[in-house]
Amino acid sequence: MSYLFTSESVSEGHPDKVADQISDALIDNFLAFDKNSKVACETLVTTGQVILAGEVNSKTYLDVQKIARDVINKIGYTKSEYMFDGNSCGVLSAIHEQSPDINQGVDRSKPEEQGAGDQGMMFGYATDETENYMPLALELSHRLLIELAALRRENKDIGYLRPDAKSQVTIEYSDDNVPQRIDAIVISTQHDDFDASEEVMLAKIKKDIVEILIPRVVAKLPAHIQTLFTDNITYHINPTGVFVIGGPHGDTGLTGRKIIVDTYGGKGAHGGGAFSGKDPSKVDRSGAYATRHIAKNLVAAGLCKEVLVQVSYAIGVAKPTSINVETYGTSTVDLTDGEISKIVETIFDMRPYFIEQRLKLRTPIYSETAAYGHMGRTPEIKTVTFSNPMGETVSEEIETFTWEKLDYVETVKKTFKL
């Protein structure tokens, strides 16, 4: 019997994502001037206020107020009527030095013996149902909001959009887990106040979403995904009605509260640790990226159609306490999942130092991860520039989303004789 599966996404203007983006901007600035920075930075945003808290061990000094304001303005909170804007909001910093008790478990005289920054388990997932090996419901949820943000910035076809928004996509799957059709799409978007009745306003917003946003999204999709957009989709557009009050004024935002949006939309599993605001010595982040890298390369190599990879660590210990691979019965080789796990362990060195080196994680690449998902993104090589209060400016060529590269496919094929 067919079944329904749903995933959601949130826009860059959602209060939790505002917090994530500020935290990751701080990470990037610290790493730009000191590659060995150890940072765990949390952000809270609410009406007219930003509060920064956390622990840092770094040789550089930053103007954290300016960094936070620049992020907020870039997102689009630039007007006083939003009750939260980058130029006038208060920014309070309670960042202090990292505990030496934690640091002693991470730093080692030999870099390759670097211990894990915390205990815990991390998961990576991949499926062949999309070209980027991501679950389709989440991929579509992200795409809807990326396009909605583009429309907001163009300020042409839809001129009333504000930064806060959420999306949700429900897909019908067949018994053999193949997407059949889109059952429902939910979009709630913040908007300017209308000089019209609520009924007229909601009709206008729904018409624009269905007739402007959806066709723009569909046009950028592969043909086999486009066919899932039928005339039988149920649309819930701003189902609560008026959505003028939004962003941090409408709902307090905190770093790390959208970890399912950040990963796989409820598919696979999640270890519970957030990513944003953490340097790569924190295995919550680096371990999750590394397991996604493994999972994607295993599926791309044809070892299986779907896979979940788990790794776990003890704080201060380099070698993982476990590595597990689950192929959901889709493996194409005559090996148990336990046997596959042992072989995968020989291909990918999962000690924290080697993850950082393999995926080039000690570079300022994190701001781009903080909205629209950390997984399923396209790697790029680009040059970034940062300045600090001491008058120093650094420019650096970086490679983003390295964990999405299919650079181990041939190794996997050779090792498993595919």
- The Cα 182–Cα 138 span in angstroms is 12
Mean pLDDT over residues 8-26, rounded?
Answer: 98
pLDDT band of residue 104 (cuts 50, 70, 90) is low
Read off the DSSP letter of residue 378: P
- Mind listing the pLDDT tens digit for each residue in 306-315? 999 999 999 9
What is the per-residue pLDDT for 99?
A: 59
What is the per-residue pLDDT for 167?
A: 98
What is the per-residue pLDDT for 1?
A: 81
pLDDT band of residue 92 (cuts 50, 70, 90) is very high
Q: Which of 402, 401, 391, 367 is nearest to 31 (CA)?
A: 367
CATH number of 3-10+135-245: 3.30.300.10
pLDDT band of residue 108 (cuts 50, 70, 90) is low
386 pLDDT more than 90: yes
Share of the chain above pLDDT 70, in %: 97
Binding residues for ATP, as ranges, are: 14, 164-166, 251, 257-258, 274, 278
Is the CB of residue 167 less than 8 Å from the CB of residue 186? yes
Read off the DSSP letter of residue 257: S
- The Cα 262–Cα 272 span in angstroms is 12
Binding residues for L-methionine, as ranges, are: 55, 98, 251, 282
> Which residues fall within 8 angstroms of residue 310, CB to CB, at 6 or more apart?
121, 122, 123, 269, 271, 291, 322, 323, 324, 325, 326
What is the per-residue pLDDT for 107?
A: 61
Mean pLDDT over residues 237-266, rounded?
Answer: 97
**Residue 117, CA distances (Å) to 280, 313, 324 in order:** 9, 9, 20
Binding residues for Mg(2+), as ranges, are: 16
Mean pLDDT over residues 328-351, rounded?
Answer: 98
- How do the domains of the chain map onto residue ranges? 3-10+135-245, 15-106, 120-128+259-416
Read off the DSSP letter of residue 194: P
* pTM, to two decimals: 0.96
What is the per-residue pLDDT for 110?
A: 74
- Amino acid identity of residue 389, one-letter, is P
13 pLDDT more than 70: yes
Binding residues, as ranges, are: 14, 16, 42, 55, 98, 164-166, 251, 257-258, 274, 278, 282
Phi-psi region of 401 (alpha: psi -120 to 50; beta: other; left: phi over 0): left
Binding residues for K(+), as ranges, are: 42
Phi-psi region of 241 (alpha: psi -120 to 50; beta: other; left: phi over 0): left
- What average pLDDT does the chain have? 95
Which class in CATH covers the domain with range 120-128+259-416? alpha beta
- The Cα 128–Cα 335 span in angstroms is 20
What is the per-residue pLDDT for 97?
A: 82
Domain 15-106 in CATH 3.30.300.10: yes
Burial 369-400 (b: 16+ CB within 10 A, else e): bbbbbbbbbeeeeeebebebeeeeeeeeebeb
Please tell me the number of Cα atoms within 13 Å of 349 on its side-chain side. 13
- The Cα 64–Cα 264 span in angstroms is 31
Residue 110 burial (CB < 10 Å; 0-12/13-18/19+)? Answer: exposed
What is the per-residue pLDDT for 106?
A: 63
Q: Which of 125, 110, 27, 31 is nearest to 318 (CA)?
A: 110
- Mind listing the pLDDT tens digit for each residue in 186-228? 999 999 999 889 999 999 999 999 999 999 999 999 999 999 9
Mean pLDDT over residues 85-101, rounded?
Answer: 86
Mean pLDDT over residues 223-236, rounded?
Answer: 97
Residue 86's SS3 state is: coil
Mean pLDDT over residues 106-134, rounded?
Answer: 86
User: Phi and psi at residue 213, in whole multiples of 5°?
Assistant: -65, -55
Are both 3-10+135-245 and 120-128+259-416 of the same fold?
yes
Mean pLDDT over residues 80-89, rounded?
Answer: 96
| % helix, strand, coil for the chain, step of 5 | 35, 25, 40
pLDDT band of residue 103 (cuts 50, 70, 90) is low
Mean pLDDT over residues 326-343, rounded?
Answer: 98
**Residue 371, CA distances (Å) to 63, 137, 262, 376, 399 in order:** 23, 17, 8, 12, 17
406 pLDDT more than 60: yes
Q: Of the given ranges (72-81, 97-106, 177-186), which has the lowest mean pLDDT?
A: 97-106
Is the CB of residue 163 less than 8 Å from the CB of residue 188? no
What is the per-residue pLDDT for 117?
A: 80
